[in-house]
Amino acid sequence: MAKNYILDQATANKKLERMAYEILENNVDEKQLILAGIHEPGSVIALHIQQLLQQISDINTRLIHIHLDKRNPGAITLSEDINFDDKVIIIIDDVANSGKTLLYAMKPFLQFHPRKIQTLALVDRTHKAYPVKTDYVGLSLATTLQEHIYVETDGKVVTGAYME
């Protein structure tokens, strides 16, 4: 199956910048945001969002990484063991499909009492099987169940997204 690009690097950057402004608008009174990127593509996106937020505001951001197997998300680990009570957490992934990955990614934070948990996905598909709403969406796309969306990175920035 051929790659059908839906985002190039420049367009992805514009969408990430718009989402950074949305995050700031929805959290204007917050002192700190925890950006929790789902490893690997989500972590790259989280780092980019952190850099954008630092450019447009003086809000304190902390970047952490969520490690889980997206196909079998039983064991979930965080890159840092900190207290998330009364914190604003934004869980960040590349593609939101059924909602399963985002739901499981929330699990470690639920042993605390965070002020808010929000979600961000560069691409949101419309095949939700779990009750998870994506708060910040770069591109919303209706696809068939047979089509898959992939986000490409070079380890530091999003270089594109395609469907096959």
The greatest distance separating any two alpha carbons of the chain, rounded to the nearest whole angstrom, comes to 47
Span 122-145, pLDDT tens digits? 999 877 888 899 999 999 998 888
Task: For the domain covering 10-143, report its CATH number.
Answer: 3.40.50.2020
pLDDT (tens digit per residue) in 64-111? 999 998 888 778 989 988 999 999 999 999 999 888 999 999 999 999
Single pTM value for the model: 0.94
pLDDT exceeds cutoff 90 at 46: yes
Read off φ and ψ for residue 2, nearest 5 degrees: -80, 150
Q: Which helix (H) or strand (E) holds 123?
A: strand 116-125
For residues 105 and 76, the answer to whether their CB atoms sit within 8 Å is yes
CB 120 within 8 A of CB 96: no
Query: What percent of the chain has a predicted confidence (pLDDT) above 70?
Result: 99
Query: What pLDDT is attached to residue 1?
Result: 61
Distance CA 93, CA 105 (A): 10
pLDDT beyond 80 at 47: yes
64 is written with which tokens?
Answer: 């952490």
| 63 φ, ψ (degrees, to nearest 5) | -100, 125
